[in-house]
Amino acid sequence: QQFLVRDRLSDLAPDVQEAALVQLTRTRLDLLSKRKIANLDVTTRQAVVGSLQRMGLFTDQGRRDELLNRTLSDLEPEVRAGLGIFLAQQELADRSLRDLEGETRESVILHLRQADALADAARVEGLDALHLSDLDEELSSHVREALADLLQADLAAKSMEELPAETRRRVHRTLDEQNYFVDEERAEWYERKTLAQLPSEILRDLEQHLGEIRYAELDGVAFREIPSETRDGLLDFLDRSRLFSDRAQRLRLVQGGTIGKLSEKARSPITQHFGRQWLVQLRNRRPPDLAPDDRETVWAFLRDRGYFADEFKEELFAYQRLDEFDAETRTRVETALVVQLNAELDAQPFGAMSPELRSMIRGQLREADYFVDAELLRQVEESRSANLPADLRRAVETALGTQLLDKVDDAPVAGLPAEMRASLWRYLDQVGYFVDEERRKRFMDRRLADLASESYEAVISDVAQQMRAEIGNSPVSDLEDDLRQGLRQALEELEYFTSADVRERVLSQPIGRLRREDLDALALELGLGWLESQREQALADLPKTDQEAIMAHLQAGDWFLDPQSLDRLLANPVGDLEAGVRQDLVDLLQRDQVEQLAQQPLASMDRELRRTVHQILLKQGLALEDRQMRSFRRQQLSGLAADVYGGLLREIGEEAISAWAATRFGSLDQEQQAVLSAYLGRMILGRSERRVLLHTISRLWIDYLTDIEDLRRGIGLEAYGQRDPLVEYKRRAFELFEELGDNIRRTTIRILFRQPPEVLSSP
C-alpha cells in the first residue's frame, strides 16, 4: 500500500526497476502477441517498429554494401556528427575522461576549452565591463604582446584587403597622416592659390570644420576669460540673432557662464559664426602665408576630405602588403598601430572595443585558460559521463566523437576496424539510413508472436525503456490505473512484496492446512500447468492412471455418446428396452432418487412427496411417537441416520444463527467465528468473481470496439496490396474477437489469483 500510494518507481533499487519494467512490458506484449504489428496502438507500434529498425530488420543490404567503398567523410554532415556522438557514447560507456588515453583525453579537453564548454559563466559575462588593466599584470602583458604579434603577423602576411576592416582603416589613416596618398601636382597647385579659389562646397565644409574646432576650444572656458575680441564679437552675434531668451540669461553668461552651457539650439549658429570669422581671416591668403597651426589645420582637413588624393594609390592600396612599402614607412605604420592598439586597450573597457579586437582578446584569454572553471574541469575529468549535466555531457561526446572520426575519416568503410564498422551499422540502422520500405511493410503484417525469440526480447527491452521514460519520476499513485496495476503485478511476480518470514512459515506447514479457496486455486493452477506441459502428448502415450482419469472425465461429459442411438432411445417406450438394460436403468434412477432425498430435508419437500416418505417410514417402523422417543434419550446424536442427523443440524443451526443476530463478531467463540468466516468468505469470493468478471469484460470490450473501429477506418488500404478489403476485415475481426476471449479469461484468472483480501469491519 505504501508503494502504491506514496512511492515512485525511482525509489526502487536500479535492478528491481529494470526487472519490474521488463516484466510489465513482457506481460503487456504477451497479451498483444497474436495481433499484427500494424494493428497495435500507436505508442506501442512506434516503439516496436523503432526497436525492429535498430536491429536492422528493415535494412536494404544492397545500399549498405555500396557504402563499403566510400569513406565516412562522404556521409551527410548531420549523420556524421550523430555517428561521432554515438561512437563517443560507446567509448565512454560508464567511464570518465581520465580513463581515456593521454593524447585523446588532452585533445578532448582542448576542444572543450576552445568551445567555452568549461567556461565560468560569471567571468564570460563580466568581461565586457573590465579594462585590460583590471587583469593581473602577467596576463595583461601577455595579451598586449600577443595582440601586437598577431597584428604584425597579419600586416606581414596579408594584403590590405585581407586585413580586418578596423586594422585596414588604421593603416590607411596612418599612411594618410604621412601624406602617402597625396597627389603632388594637386598639392603644388594648392600652394599657388588662395583658399578662396577652392570649390564653394569645400569652403562651406571648411567653415563648419573650423567652427567646430573653435567651439571645442572655448567650450569649457569661462566666458569672461575668452579673448576680448572674440568675446565681443560673439556677444554682438548673440544679440543680433536674439538667441538669448531674456536679459537674465545674457547676464549669467557674461558673469560666470560658458558657451557649453547654452542651449542646443544656440550651438549650431555659434559654430557657424566661429567658422565664418576664422575663414574670413584665411580665405584671401595662400597656404604658405598662413600661420603654421592654421596651415596644418586646413591641410589636414583637405587631405582627409580626399582633395589631394592620388586615385591610383587609393586603388592600389587594397592589393598591397605592408612589406611592399619602404622600410621607414613600414616601421612608422607598425609603430603607430601598436601605439593606437595600446591606447585603445588602456582607454576602453573590452565591451566598447571593436568586434575584431574583442574577438582577438577573447581568443588570447581563452588560450590562457582565463575563462576555465577549475571545478568544472575537475568534474569533467573525474566524473562518469552519465553523471555529467546534459549540456556538458553532449559537449564531451561531441568533442570525443570528432577526435575519433578524424582518425578514420579518409579510410574506406570496408577498411575500418571490425568493431567500429559494427558500430557504424548499428547507428545507421538506428537512424533509418538504409530502411527498405517494402521490408518494413512486410514486417507490419506480422504478429509479435512471429518474431524470433532474440528479436522479441530486444523489443521487450526497448519498450521497457520507453515505459521508463513515460513513467519518469511521477508518483505511482498518479499513474493510470492499468499502468499502476500492471506495475504492482510485475513486482508481485518478482516477489518484491513477499515477506521472508511468512514465506518460510508457509513452506514449513502441510499443504492440507491451506484454506479451501487456496487449495482450489492451487489445484486449478497446477492442473492448467500440467495440461500445458502435456498439450502435445497423445492420450495413448500418457501413464495409465492419467489415461483413466481423463477418459472418465470425458465420458462424464458425453464425449463418446452416439447421437443416432440416443435418438432411437428417445423415440421408443422404456418398456421396449431389453430386460437387463431396463433393470439397470431402474436401479440407476433409484440410486439417484435416494441420493437426492438423502440430501433434502422433509420440510423442503412438496406435500405429496412428504406423505409418501412418511408412509414408507411408518411401514419400516422408523417414525417415532413421543413414547417411543424415551428410549433414545441416552443415545448420542451421531448415532442417528445420516439424513435425520443432517436435518437436525439444519434446524439447530437456524436457531443458533438467529441467536447471533444481536451479537458482535468479536464476542463469538473461536469455533463460531470460524464457521461464520468460512460462510462470509464464500459470499465475498462470489461477489469478487462477479465484479472482476464484469470489470474485465467492460474494459476489454471497449478496447475491442476501439480496435475494430481502427480496423474499419484503415481496411480500405488493403486494396493497394491486391487484397479484398471485406475478406481481410472479416479475417482480422475474427482474430480480434478470439483474442478478446483469451484476454478475458486470462485477465480474470490473473486478477482473481492476486485479489487482495477484503477487510470485514464490525459496525
> Which residue from 6, 34, 84, 157 is spatially nearest to 400, judged by alpha carbons?
84
25 against 511, higher pLDDT: 25
198-215 pLDDT, tens digit each:
889 999 999 999 999 998
> Which residue from 1, 25, 7 is spatially nearest to 486, judged by alpha carbons?
25
Question: What percent of the chain stands above pLDDT 70?
Answer: 78
Collect all residues with Cβ–Cβ distance below 8 Å to 302 and sequence separation of at least 6.
190, 198, 202, 206, 308
Confidence of residue 668 (pLDDT cuts 50, 70, 90): low
By the 8 A CB rule, do 25 and 459 touch?
A: no
Half-sphere exposure of 596 (CA within 13 A, CB side): 10
In this predicted structure, the answer to whether residue 553 has a pLDDT above a threshold of 50 is yes
By the 8 A CB rule, do 371 and 116 touch?
A: yes
280 against 2, higher pLDDT: 280
* Confidence (pLDDT) at 737: 92
Report the run of H or E that residue 630 belongs to, with start and end.
Answer: none
* Confidence (pLDDT) at 297: 92
In this predicted structure, the answer to whether residue 761 has a pLDDT above a threshold of 50 is no
What backbone phi and psi angles, to 5 degrees, belong to 36? -65, 150
Tell me the DSSP string of 85-142: HHHHHHHHTT--GGGS-HHHHHHHHHHHHHTTTTB-HHHHHHGGG--GGGS-HHHHHH
By the 8 A CB rule, do 203 and 276 touch?
A: no
Could you give the 3-state DSSP secondary structure of residue 372? Answer: strand
> Which residue from 313, 318, 315 is spatially nearest to 163, judged by alpha carbons?
318
> Which residue from 696, 707, 714 is spatially nearest to 737, judged by alpha carbons?
707
Judged by phi (left if over 0) then psi (alpha if -120 to 50, else beta), residue 430 lies in alpha
In this predicted structure, the answer to whether residue 241 has a pLDDT above a threshold of 50 is yes
By the 8 A CB rule, do 383 and 96 touch?
A: yes
Average pLDDT for 58-72:
87
d(C-alpha 490, C-alpha 474), whole Å: 18
- Say what the pTM is: 0.48
Please state the separation of Cα 499 from the chain's center in Å: 37
Sign of CA dihedral 660, 665, 667, 668: positive
Confidence of residue 571 (pLDDT cuts 50, 70, 90): low
> Which residue from 225, 228, 263 is spatially nearest to 244, judged by alpha carbons?
263
* Continuous H helices in 509-633: 516-533, 544-556, 563-571, 579-598, 607-619, 626-629
d(C-alpha 78, C-alpha 26), whole Å: 35
In this predicted structure, the answer to whether residue 628 has a pLDDT above a threshold of 50 is no
Average pLDDT over the chain, rounded to whole?
80
Average pLDDT for 154-182:
87
d(C-alpha 22, C-alpha 461), whole Å: 6
Cell, residue 20: 519490474
d(C-alpha 398, C-alpha 386), whole Å: 14
* Confidence (pLDDT) at 40: 85
Q: What is the dihedral of CA 574, 575, 579, 585, to 10 degrees?
A: 30
Cell, residue 370: 582565463
Cα angle value 695/698/704 (rounded, 5°): 135
Confidence of residue 564 (pLDDT cuts 50, 70, 90): low
Confidence of residue 637 (pLDDT cuts 50, 70, 90): very low
In this predicted structure, the answer to whether residue 624 has a pLDDT above a threshold of 70 is no
